[in-house]
A and B are shown apart, each in its own frame.
Chain A
């Protein structure tokens, strides 16, 4: 089975980083135990032969679901910013960042 890797503390720390979650050490420990049990249950799916089965991404989506590309009124700038923890110069304010 391709997914036979153990679900361990390192896995939790890796996915926490991907998910932008800063976990405490206690949280990481507890989630490792809990998620290992859940992943073991999910591993039961591997027993099913699905080699000829197509995936279902979405059910009952109408074929012509997009509206005409016409501009309609939307939120004003002030409304869009009204719930932001910080805003400045008509935009959302965030800490300075530089990523290489």
Chain B
């Protein structure tokens, strides 16, 4: 199978390949590779093949096919798919089958994509390694003893292992970008409000954003074009026109001012990550970009700010899981409050409980001003950092994460150490600006390194231009993991 979403879709649109043959080949790959990667919680075999046949039938009827015709795409299990099990990686939603499609799922179907199934994640998207899933551990296709990153680790691993060429993730504090970096693929967190959240099981509503993973930049660009836009079901979606991100991949980058935020290269950065990002930046210089150092002085406060705001919002959002309308119910006796408590204690895993407790604490009487309100003010300072930087430069380039993929189990005993691994992705989430991660090289022991490209609000097209330029440079080529090429 080709390694590009755009080529694959065009081969179906032209009639060179049938969607059903691609679906058959995809299921063979899933059968061969899934036992070692464990990216999926549910493979929707029947629905997937039926969708592929429908694409072929549509072409036979002479109808125009969509931009993602016959392209197999995997869906993070935090997104609702009508009639297909959706758990958010939690026991509390075991057996739940949504009665509607998330808007992004409906948009992929309308573009004639074929949906393979639901991918594993940290429970309710809370985590940086996928190890908080209630169901299974996902393995990084570059080294099966390592974490794929999180929380969208299953979506990233499915693409990295070439079980499919594209997938959907959601990013609240880095949950698309960090696994993209760890798995050597492209991952995009759009501007807050660029893509609908309707049908995304909410974690932190002022931060959550859905976005694509793909094997290459152009594939991610085509997916985002399909996904983006105003949705009447989500009042936070923006009405701005959707750019042609794919065309942006061919734009010249000569003369673009590229800022290098010094705070992202300080204490804690792996020397090999530092070298790889600086090499990528020098490649951009060869293309005529003007590189200059900038400062985002409040970066060091991002972890504390994020873990106050995100947990506060989560404690409110997760109140809906009470055993009444969907999912698990535990009824120790004829007492409503006991039912709530027992259901939530049995249904939620330790990280989710930890965050609900922290979020409830920072919102509680006597602590609201000191924690929640304070963090909202620091969020303003972090946003102003980006505003000031973007007065000087057009785009920011930085590591996506301070390290490459860590070993499974390495950080599970220390929640704070796990939180600190998000330091490079949290600031863009708090500011609501778009950011993507692209693979830029391998370390000596063969692990991929990701570079983050951050642009001002709604300037995704500019990021795609920079990302595509990097991808064209031979020195930055990464490709598929050797075991899954």
Q: Which A residues form the contact surface with B (CB < 8 A)?
A: 1-3, 7, 11-12, 14-16, 18-24, 27, 30-31, 34-35, 37-39, 41-42, 44-46, 48, 50, 53-62, 65-67, 75, 79-80, 82-86, 92, 94-97
Contact = CB atoms under 8 A, between A and B. Distances in A.
B206 A58 contact: yes
B414 to A, nearest CB: 9
Contact of B416 (A20, A37, A46, A53): A37
A22 B344 contact: yes
B315 interface: yes
Interface string B185-218: 0000001110000000000001000000000000
Given A42-B371, A62-B236, A97-B335, 18 more contacts: A15-B364, A27-B345, A31-B353, A34-B354, A34-B415, A37-B415, A41-B303, A42-B307, A42-B375, A45-B374, A48-B298, A48-B378, A55-B380, A61-B235, A66-B235, A94-B324, A95-B331, A97-B336
Given A15-B360, A38-B358, A50-B381, A79 B301 contact: no
Contact of B357 (A21, A62, A84, A95): A21
B457 interface: yes
Interface in B328-372: 328-329, 331, 333-342, 344-345, 348, 350, 353-354, 356-358, 360-362, 364, 367, 369-371
A96 to B, nearest CB: 6
A65 B237 CA distance: 8
A94 B367 contact: no
A53 B360 contact: no
A100 to B, nearest CB: 13
Nearest to B340: A20
B192 A95 contact: no
A80 B99 CA distance: 8
Interface of B: 96-100, 191-193, 206, 232, 235-239, 298, 301, 303-305, 307-308, 315, 319, 322-329, 331, 333-342, 344-345, 348, 350, 353-354, 356-358, 360-362, 364, 367, 369-371, 373-381, 383, 415-416, 419, 431-432, 457
- What 9 A-B pairs are tightest by C-beta distance, nearest first? A22-B341, A59-B432, A55-B376, A3-B370, A85-B329, A50-B377, A97-B336, A83-B326, A65-B235
A87 to B, nearest CB: 9
B320 to A, nearest CB: 11
B345 A21 contact: yes
A61 B356 contact: no
Contacts of A55: 373, 376-377, 379-380
A26 to B, nearest CB: 11
A95 B334 contact: yes
Contacts of A23: 345, 353
A83 B378 CA distance: 41
Given A20-B337, A22-B342, A58-B206, A38 B416 contact: yes
A20 B322 contact: yes
Contacts of A3: 367, 370-371
B142 to A, nearest CB: 30
A26 B196 CA distance: 40
B235 to A, nearest CB: 4
A86 B328 CA distance: 10
A83 B353 contact: no
Contacts of A92: 324-325
Nearest to B334: A95
Given A12-B357, A95-B331, A95-B336, A57 B342 contact: no
